[in-house]
Each structure stands twice: as C-alpha cells, then as structure tokens.
Chains A and B, each alone.
Chain A
Amino acid sequence: MSSAPDPSTVAAARVGAGWAFERLYQDLSPAVLGYVRSQGCGDPEGTVSDVFLRVFRRLAAFEGSDAQLRSWVFTIAHNVIVDERRSTSRRGPRQRFDDHGDRPGGDAERDAMDQLGTGWVQQVLDVLSPSQRDVVLLRVVADLSLEEVAAATGRRVGAVKSLQHRALGSLRRHLNELDQPAVSPARLGRSPV
C-alpha cells in the first residue's frame, strides 16, 4: 500500500492552492497513469490530466481522511475510464492502449521490450470480463484493498471477492492452457542467463 499524501499538502489543496495541487499530482499521478494504461485508454496522459482536474475541483467537498484520498483518486479515475469506455462504444475506438508512440524513453530497445511485455499481459487479461478486469487491475496495479475496490466500483465487498475469485480461476485456467511460464517473453529476454 502506498503512503498517504502529506496532510498539510492536502489541507492546502482543499483551499485551492496551486502548489499543493502540483505536489499531489507528482505523488499520485504515476500510479494513476499505470492504472489508466492497464485499462487500455487511448490517451493515458490526457486521461490522467482529466482525472486530476476532477479531483482538484471536488477536493474541497471531499470528506475523508488523508489516507482515503488515494483510493478516492482511483475512484475518480475508474469513473473517468468507465465514461471513456461508454463514449468509445458509441464512437468506436480511437487508439490502441499499447500505442505509446510519443512516450519519452531513452532506451529504444527497452521500450520495445516493455511494450512487448505489456502486450502479453494485456493478452492474458483479455480472458477476463470487464468487471473481473477492473477488480484485478485495481487490486494489483492500483494496490487497493478489497474495501477500497468495492468503494471505487460501487459494489459490495462480497461481490468484489466473488469477482476476484472468478478472475483468478479464469487466469489459472488460461495460463495452464497456454502451457507456458507466467513470465512475459520480454522479461525472459531481459533476465540474466
């Protein structure tokens, strides 16, 4: 579990201080960006900006501890992704999630291997239903607890447990059918001999 944001920073952000917004963004946006990418958004960076604009606009009305702020941010991120899914289903897909054409990176070979690994993981996750996928990604990538995932998805904790159980079963069966190690080819290529 990631550490909670600094209370003084949160307090300053509640009253609209720009510097506090920027600090919260630096602390939380990397994890949010990872979650957004894992969900296959077309424009992950733009989506993250939209998420934090919503967060900052509603922060004054946020009622919760500083520790709950992180899960609240992921809740908003999840809602933004759901909205984007709905709009994409009406307009059609804009871009593949793994098309990180302009993502900055110094090592082209490593970037290529990362994309290969991301593609393999995504391929495995495709066996899951959207609800199972949300639960798995929020639990693994966003590192949220069962209760926090339940709050983010608007489900009961028992329902989240059930979705998680079925997601794990589907993944096991799929990996056994593939009869290959659960390590991406990219990681195998990088692993020391």
Chain B
Amino acid sequence: MRHDTSHEPTRALFDELRAAFEVTEPPAPSPALAMVFATGLTTDNGDLLATAASNANGSASQTAGLPNWTGRRITMIKDLMIHVRTRVAAAVLGATVAMAGMGAAGALNAPIRFVSSFGDDTPACVSAPDESTEDDLAGDALPEDESAACEDQPGDDGVTDDDLDAVDPESASDEPVAGEIPEAPTTVSEAAHIHDFDEACGNHGAYVSHVARFGEEPECATDVRSGVSQDQVDEADANAVEDEAGDDRGKGRPTSRSNHGHGKPKG
C-alpha cells in the first residue's frame, strides 16, 4: 500500500505481508491449462480463435465411419411415394375396367361415358349413375364444360381426334371414322363398344341389353341406320294424329323424344 504508512507497525506489517506472499516462480499449470498452451483456445462458439496450421486448408474429409442415415431416409421416403402412386394407379385402373365391364353388361341404368385419362393434368370424365331421370340422362347428362374437356382426351389407344385427322385417309379407310355408323354388332361385346345409338335408344345399357337378349339391334338403332331421325318419326306421328283428330286438337304434340338435346322440359 502506497498511502498512509505513517504508522510504523502498519508499514512493517505491509512489508511483511508482501514478503510473505511474494512468489517469483509461476506455478505448474493444470492439465487443462497445459493443453491450452499447446493447442490454443476456441471461442465461445466453438470456433478456433486462430486457425491451426494443420487446418489451414480446411478440415480433413471424412473417410469412413459415420452412417449417412439422412440420405437413407430420403431414399426410403422416395420408395414409399413410388409405392403409394403405384397402388393408386392400380386402383384407378381397376375401377376403370370394372366400370367398363358393368357398362358392357348393361348393369348400369344410366349412360356412362367413361373416358379415362391417366395423365396428371387431364381430368377423368365420369358420369356416374345417379337419381336423374332417363330424359335427363338422354339430354344433358354431361355439362358443357365436361363434354368439352373430354372431347380430346386420348382413349385407351392414346389416339386423339387430332391424331385421327392426321392419319392418311387411304390407310385409315378400314378404320371407323368419326360420324360413320358402325356395322351391326353380332356379339354383345361388339355392341358394348357402339355408342352411336345411346341417345336414340335412351341409354347405352338398353341398346346392349336388347342386342344381348334378341341378338339384333333394337328398332331405335335400325331407324338411325335407315337415316330416319327420331324427330322426323315423331313429326310424322304427330301429323297423323293431327289428321285423325282434326283441327280442334292441338298442334305439334310434344313428346319426350322431341326434347332430345334440349334437356328436361320446363315446368
């Protein structure tokens, strides 16, 4: 202490104090401190305050040992996703085949237009049987947008209408062309693939079941083949009735047939 040493005993005590605790040699460092002397220290973040010479070019690459379980987990997730997609695709395919089979067998009451698509961005167009009446199904079973969306969907053979247009006419002469009426079916399976008379006969199931039951097409199909439209038939029938009933009867008896293509009658 450099102040207030007027008291001689006190000053002597301080001199004695300094002498008693005066140390000239540094003590032996602890093992931890000796390690610090040898290797330096790291910061609180775990980084070296000074880069050791052995790490000047970066840390050594890992040669072996630790499992790369992160990559393995990613591979497992990918495998799982592939498995799930495969199962979903199989389920969709099975449903497609089942629906087609039911339609071919006439087990469905409503006409089903089933155009399946396996692409991710093309919607599948399915008109499932519901509570609609026959007239509804014969008319606007499919909304306008759905019908439009399904027009150019590739079928089972993956051929679209554009593809058909691009085909050479000569080479495609044996193939059914859109708008042509196919020949009369001889088997039920052939009838199941003909949809040209669905509207005329009410529904596809009625057409196919008639072929299955009687071995020939129903009258509604033969009328279409003969070129007589149902509207013309109805009009002729109406005229005949009008002639019989005279002028006091109403003109143009409306029938459910006359509403084809116009949806459900109002009222």
Chain A residues near B74 (CB-CB < 8 A): none
Could you tell me how many residues of chain A have their Cβ less than 8 Å away from some Cβ of chain B? 53
A21/B37 in contact, CB under 8 A: yes
Within 8 A of A (CB), among B28-65: 28-30, 32-33, 36-44, 48-50
Question: What residues of A have a CB within 8 angstroms of the CB of B21 in the complex?
Answer: 34-35, 37-38, 118, 121, 141
> What are some 7 contacts across the A-B interface (CB < 8 A)?
A15-B50, A16-B50, A17-B50, A18-B36, A31-B23, A121-B21, A136-B17
A26 → chain B closest CB, angstroms:
5
Report yes or no: A56 in contact with B16, Cβ–Cβ below 8 A: no
How far, in whole Å, are A38 and B27 apart by their CA atoms in the complex? Answer: 15
- Out of B2, B4, B13, B43, name the residue touching A121 (CB < 8 Å): B13
Interface flags for B15-27 (1: CB within 8 Å of A; 0: not) read 0111111111111
Q: Which residues of B sit under 8 angstroms from A172, Cβ to Cβ?
A: 7, 9-10
Asked if A183 and B37 sit within 8 Å, CB to CB, the answer is no
- Report how far A176 CA is from B10 CA in the complex, Å: 10
A interface residues, Cβ below 8 angstroms from B: 14-19, 21-22, 25-26, 29-31, 33-35, 37-38, 44-46, 48-50, 52-53, 56-57, 60, 114, 117-118, 120-121, 124-125, 136-137, 139-141, 164-165, 168, 171-172, 175-176, 181-184, 187
With an 8 A cutoff between CB atoms, is B14 at the interface? yes
Q: Are A30 and B13 in contact (CB under 8 A)?
A: no
0/1 interface trace, chain B 110-149, chain A, CB 8 Å (1 if under) = 0000000000000000000000000000000000000000
Decide: A18 and B29 in contact? CB cutoff 8 A: no
Q: A18-B39, A141-B21 are in contact. Are A121 and B9 (CB under 8 A)?
A: no
**CB-CB < 8 A to B28: which residues of A?**
45
How distant is the Cα of A136 from the Cα of B38 in the complex, in angstroms? 36
Residues in chain A near residue B9, CB distance under 8 A: 172, 175-176, 181-182
Contact partner of A25 among B10, B16, B37, B48, CB < 8 A? B37
**Chain A min CB distance to B145 (Å):** 70
Number of A-B contacts (CB under 8 A): 130
B8 CB–A CB distance under 8 Å: yes
Judge whether B20 and A114 touch: CB under 8 Å: yes
A22 CA / B18 CA spacing, docked (Å): 25
The minimal Cβ–Cβ distance linking B174 to chain A, given in whole angstroms, is: 88
Cβ distance A188 to chain B, nearest Cβ, rounded Å? 11
* Pick from A35, A53, A182: contact of B33, CB under 8 Å: A53
| A168, B240: Cα distance in complex, Å | 142
Q: How far is the CB of A32 from chain B (nearest CB, A)?
A: 9
Cβ-closest chain A residue relative to B47: A16
Docked-complex contact A140 and B30, CB < 8 angstroms: no
Decide if B1 is an interface residue (CB 8 Å cutoff): yes
Known interface pairs A25-B29, A49-B30; A182-B10 also in contact (CB < 8 Å): yes
Given contacts A117-B16, A117-B19, A182-B8, contact A26 B26 (CB under 8 A): yes
Contact of A121 with B29 in the complex, beta carbons under 8 Å: no
- Is A56 in contact with B41, judged by CB distance below 8 angstroms? yes
Q: How far is the CB of A92 from chain B (nearest CB, A)?
A: 23
Residues from chain A with Cβ under 8 Å of B17 in the complex: 38, 121, 125, 136-137, 140-141
> From residue A38, how far is it (CB to closest CB) to chain B in Å?
4
Contact B10 A18 (CB under 8 A): no
Query: Does B95 belong to the interface (CB within 8 Å)?
Result: no
Q: Determine the distance from Cα of A21 to Cα of B26 in the docked complex, in whole angstroms.
A: 13
Q: How far is the CA of A129 from the CA of B20 in the complex (A)?
A: 20
A183 to B18, CA, bound (A): 12
Complex Cα–Cα for A25 and B44 (A): 21
Query: A182 to chain B: closest CB distance in Å?
Result: 4
Task: Using A17-B50, A30-B26, A171-B10 as known contacts, say yes or no to A25 and B19 having CB atoms under 8 A apart.
Answer: no
Chain B, residue nearest A187 (CB): B16
Closest chain-B Cβ to A68's Cβ sits at a distance in Å of 19
List the A side residues contacting B13 at CB < 8 Å. 121, 124, 171, 175, 182
